Chain A
């Protein structure tokens, strides 16, 4: 039944998605860069589905300062997609958030001169020679200004929200009843990030975000499948029933932490039709607060997406070191701490577009 719900969530999210662009994210589908965010991403390795609603359509027209806002939601199965296909149980993990920010353009001179051109045009509807000469001079000034500098913009934002995990924890092996042994855990956490995105056309976008988060260590617990067998004797016949379920084992901890994310995106034209956006190097630093049992972790990786300039589909790969300095002491072999995955994205703007500002 939960898998049915999951599929319905997928369908609903896909139907109500809005236009957006494409970004190369990390293995968890996260990025410090919001203005190039993908509306739909489906990570085949982690079974994560994400969607966002935003007013990025307004960014199609560059103004000196623009308000940006958006809502985002993501859902995933902790055990990955393969477990679902193999008949495993769904362990839902969900996250909802909202962000608001301002985007400042550094094309100040150009935008001021363009405003002046418009004022002249509006004041001279007869398009007399004097006004036309003035407009030509202003256009020359704009071109001189633009020939010497790249386009740049800075977006400052706050992103906050809630996350949730629902699962069963095998807690007390000595407990007499099953319900006492398998505790149902409904974790509710939260997060708040402050971030900056700097665009330097035509190649680079830099992102950094510092955040505070209430989180848990579900990722480090082991998932075990159990079979409950019960028998009943009916006359001389024995009736046996079986039910299967999964639960997590280990020491469960909910804690507070600081997150620091950085991303460096590189844009390139591969061919006439194909483009790529390469997250050349992203880093994720996790610093637990007041919790000695949780180690700090430093992750780093690279991710690349290829997409057709006029297409809606994008596909990409990521390679990530989940614990660069081996703080978790999981294995001394560097290559065993690497993860590799495939990400597929699809923009549904052609099917249904939404503009929440209208």
Chain B
């Protein structure tokens, strides 16, 4: 898993790629918790380069979404790969996440 975080004034952009499963989800979660604890209430997950995501990744996304909603923030997805779209659809949780075609559109929504 590769992860890069850009923290803007209104939103943090987390670019993640590779494989997010039981082996890497704890590291993914740790990065997201760190950025939330730093005071950022809005996050964009740029997931164009994700080539595998298991339910461990989905759990992290759901718990992060809940944590941000509690403080009035949002978690959205930008530019998802076909694997990400497939997994969200198979799990039946695609309706829980706002999805934008690219990160610029996602940033503009905040």
Report if A and B associate in a common complex.
no
